[in-house]
A and B are shown apart, each in its own frame.
Chain A
């Protein structure tokens, strides 16, 4: 009998406490109905979504590897609502004050929005081209907390950033960081296959750093310029053919038919030879497949990373068969030297410049005065 009494009492306690916490939270979040899209909601990017209710924004980030399209929710609240909590997502007080970025490609987004001062940590400056960042790291204002794709866990926790921004990778886990109370936000810009989609992640940075209007403005001007350029080449009857990539380890690594690179080629008024391929990433083919199909392609594009000026001789020295390609013979090889050009650091934010480079190469008469920034014809 006493057992029963204790049991009933316990059940009662549990029940009422549950009820209580429900009611308590209910006061907080039930008045918010996130139906309206925020002005920062993306038009082209598909990796995130922003809705708002009063002063609170709901930032949803879609897990690119989850077939159910489940999203991760973040509630962006300002000073007066800072105690608000939501049952299905983490609250972040915006604008954030301390930020750690684990991918160098996100730095330029902060730079464009003039918010570099928020940074307290980066993964590594090894691949950062900008001298400004390197100076900041050397002067110890920003800590380097990464080694390769890993990071020094305790130093990162010690920095106690408001937000840790990561580049999502499949199978990655941040449980120790989350257990330490850190907020991890995935920035999936590199997964967007549309060049403008990648640039649009500036809006995501904008809502976090309190630079919403500036971000929208910057993106709109990028977009308008991009569409104007795209229009130039849309009606052309001559569309040169293009192949991409080079051979490595016995396989030729090409851009997928629906990839970021393929989209540029398409928008610049050229035909990518593998455009019917459905991959948004890269494809691996054996040499003869590419050789058989691409030998007569008009242009051949790839990235190089070298301190020297890359030349046709160097290309031929890598593999003698490269010299058989028509693009090689006619000197129509397009390269971007990523050691000298901030392609990975800043290229995401300048799709209009990359597109203009391509158009200038494929159809010189359309943009006679353009100076190429990223891509150049190999001399």
Chain B
């Protein structure tokens, strides 16, 4: 008896240690994100700017405070949001390939943006946003509207069908239908509009200004908060639907809550940063392997932390000096994320069995 509790205690200690280490790494990466960029600013000057002192050059202040800082925050929030939503989907569908995009929510966002850019056309967007809440805002709004339309549809289906696999397949099919519609829109659009859409599709953490964080942050926070409340039910789901029901959980309500939470997170991230949902598949695998556990008490904070880490790392690579920041984030996340998942799976024999 004491032996068991001792190993449990040891394990807890190890997990706590890993959390601390990851926290430190995140801090370190965050600092690198602030320190590195296409313009080189001496570290001493950066410290001066962060402490509020005047610097030699006005431009440095703007770069650090209004460009790098909000961008690093965006990366942190987006990484956490995508990781958690990926984890929720993988648990709900009991499928390691599930990710935030399986619900068709990010394709819904793409459809919204495609409709805006190609039917309304980029030059006209500014006419629509007559009161100029900023031209960026209309894109965010369109993405959000598209994502929510699909989310609503999925929720109705989830309420109708008990079987999660049915929902999964329907979600993927909806994604195909939407991408076909987007394809048709692309075919008949002007090249300027097409280019704008392609650029949006490459994703970027640079689009969220401080004013927009006032919306971005609370929404991500709510989504992640829901996921924290869902830890116990998610653990129950791992045992199977019948087990979960026997334990007194309303599995249908859990499914819908998980879908809503994941949907909100993906919708808001896609709206502001473009479709970078790939991170959502990779991050839960990273966390599960780091902690060698499928317990959600460990994996929810674990994915949040690994998500922050991976997103900050990708954002740093995309803006490394010399590239002039012209590397699209979506390419980087896939270039780094995909090999990472492969490596994790090859390396860990334990993991191959666990999935």
Chain A positions near chain B (C-beta within 8 angstroms): 147-150, 169, 248-251, 284-289, 291-293, 295-296, 304-308, 313-314, 317-321, 324, 338-339
Q: Which residues in A have their C-beta under 8 angstroms from that of B274?
A: 249
> Given A285-B324, A288-B37, A339-B123, A321 and B62 touching (CB < 8 A)?
yes
Per-residue A-contact encoding for B114-137, CB less than 8 Å = 1, 0 else: 000010000110110010111110
B199 at interface, CB cutoff 8 A: yes
Q: Which chain B residues border A250 with CB–CB below 8 Å?
A: 199, 204-207, 329
Partner of B67, one of A169, A291, A305, A313: A291
- Structural contact, A289 and B39, CB atoms closer than 8 A: yes
Chain A, residue nearest B70 (CB): A321
In contact, A289 and B324 (Cβ under 8 angstroms): yes
Are B136 and A291 interface neighbours, CB within 8 A?
no
Q: Which residues of B have CB within 8 Å of A319?
A: 134, 136, 209
Separation of A293 and B58 alpha carbons in the complex (Å): 11
Which A residues lie within 8 Å of B126 (CB)?
Answer: 304-306
Given contacts A295-B62, A306-B126, A321-B66, contact A249 B204 (CB under 8 A): yes
CB distance from B75 to the nearest CB of A (A): 12
Q: Are B191 and A248 in contact (CB under 8 A)?
A: no
The answer to the question of B68 belonging to the interface, with a C-beta cut-off of 8 Å to chain A, is yes
**Is B206 a contact partner of A287 (Cβ separation < 8 A)?**
yes
Q: Are A295 and B58 closer than 8 Å at their CB atoms?
A: yes
The majority secondary structure among interface residues of chain B is: helix
Q: Can you list 14 contacts pairing A with B, beta carbon distance less than 8 Å?
A: A147-B188, A169-B191, A249-B202, A251-B326, A284-B326, A287-B67, A289-B39, A292-B63, A305-B126, A307-B127, A307-B130, A319-B134, A320-B209, A321-B66
- Chain B residue numbers with a CB within 8 Å of A339 are 123, 127
**CA–CA, A292 and B134, complex, Å:** 23
B38 part of interface (Cβ distance < 8 Å): yes
B136 A318 Cβ-Cβ under 8 A: yes
Closest to A253 in B: B199
In the docked arrangement, what's the CA distance between A29 and B112, Å? 58
Across the interface, which residues of B come within 8 angstroms of A251, CB to CB?
199, 204, 206, 325-326
Q: Using Cβ atoms and an 8 Å threshold, which residues of chain B touch A147?
A: 188
Q: Are B58 and A288 in contact (CB under 8 A)?
A: no
A289 touches B196 (CB 8 A): no
Min distance, Cβ A345 to any Cβ of chain B, angstroms: 13
- Given A292-B63, A318-B136, does the pair A285, B58 have CB atoms closer than 8 Å? no
Contact B68 A288 (CB under 8 A): yes
Q: Is B60 part of the binding interface, using a Cβ–Cβ cutoff of 8 Å?
A: yes
B328 to chain A, nearest CB (A): 8
- A150:B188 contact, CB within 8 angstroms: yes
Q: Does B187 contact A (CB under 8 A)?
A: yes
| Contact across chains for A148 and B199 when beta carbons are under 8 A apart | no
Query: In the assembly, what is the distance between CA of A148 and CA of B193, in Å?
Result: 10
Q: Tell me which of A288, A324, A338 contacts B123 (CB under 8 A).
A: A338
Q: Tell whether B59 is near chain A: CB-to-CB under 8 Å.
A: yes
Q: Are B62 and A324 in contact (CB under 8 A)?
A: yes
Contacts of A304 in B (CB 8 A): 126
Say yes or no for B296: interface residue by CB 8 A criterion: no
A79 to chain B, nearest CB (A): 39
Q: Are A288 and B191 in contact (CB under 8 A)?
A: no
With A318-B135, A338-B123 as contacts: A295 and B59 at CB distance below 8 Å = yes
Q: Provide the bound-state CA to CA distance between A152 and B37, in Å.
A: 48
**Which residues of chain B are near A324, meaning CB under 8 Å?**
58-59, 62, 66
B207 touches A249 (CB 8 A): yes
Do the beta carbons of B319 and A286 come within 8 Å of each other?
Answer: yes
Chain B positions 25-41 with a Cβ under 8 Å from a chain A Cβ: 37-39
Interface centre among A249, A308, A314, A320 (most CB of B within 10 A): A249
Closest to A339 in B: B123
Contacts of A284 in B (CB 8 A): 326
The distance from the CB of B190 to the nearest CB of chain A, in whole angstroms, is 5
Q: A148-B187, A169-B191, A320-B209 are in contact. List 4 more A-B contacts (CB 8 A).
A: A148-B189, A249-B200, A286-B325, A291-B59
Contact digits for B184-216, partner A, Cβ 8 Å, 1 yes 0 no: 000111110010100110101111011100000
A-facing mask of B269-291, CB < 8 A → 1, else 0? Answer: 00000100000000000000000
Residue from B58, B63, B188, B211 having most chain A Cβ neighbours under 10 A: B63
**Contact present for B63 and A288 (CB under 8 Å):** yes
